Structure 1
């Protein structure tokens, strides 16, 4: 499964902040990590955080596109939509609760 992620490096904590949509209505997962965006450290922290949250090995989560950009495409091996929503909730639940 390919997942759009907006990463905030040096975010003070390693955590998933929920779902959001860009101006065009495209869905993405908001994530922050403590690591700095230096030499791939923030991307590695993102991969590790998502793998842990999803109960997968680190090798199953890979930043495929956008390595130097804030919005990234992450490839997650063996993940289906049900497991994704079990780990991070449904996009509708985040928007209805007002979480941002």
Structure 2
């Protein structure tokens, strides 16, 4: 059985929460039953199936963000939060 597609908000809505320096703060829920991004109160919440081990959840978030922003995953750099639920990414070229 195929996995359902991730629930993603419009790219413009996500771009609206990127600050002037191209930084994007994300709150992550690893090990979720479904994957998706959600905007709640001006904050971006990410749910990923990957477990928080060996950077798997961080890479899953990077892939999910890249798909939502229609960018290559290599254009998203993790600035802070490699082992935390609170992550800060820099969006290259924003």
Scaled by the length of structure 2, what TM-score is found? 0.72
Q: Which structure carries more helix by proportion?
A: 1
Which structure 1 residue ranges, 5 or more long, are not aligned?
21-26, 80-100
Counterpart for residue 6 of structure 1: 27
- Please report how far the alpha carbon of residue 63 of structure 1 lies from its aligned counterpart in structure 2 after TM superposition: 1.8
Match of 1:63 among 78, 83, 87: 78
Higher RCO, 1 vs 2 (CA within 8 Å, ≥6 residues apart): 1
Asked whether the equivalents of residues 3 and 28 of structure 1 are also in contact (C-alpha less than 8 Å), the reply is no
| Length, aligned pairs only | 73
1:49 aligns with 2:70: no
Task: Give the structure 2 partner of residue 15 of structure 1.
Answer: 36
Q: Which runs of 5+ in 2 are unaligned?
A: 1-21
Which consecutive segments of 4 or more residues in structure 1 shift more than 2 A? none
CA distance in 2, matches of 1:28, 1:72: 12
Using the size of structure 1 for normalisation, the TM-score is 0.68
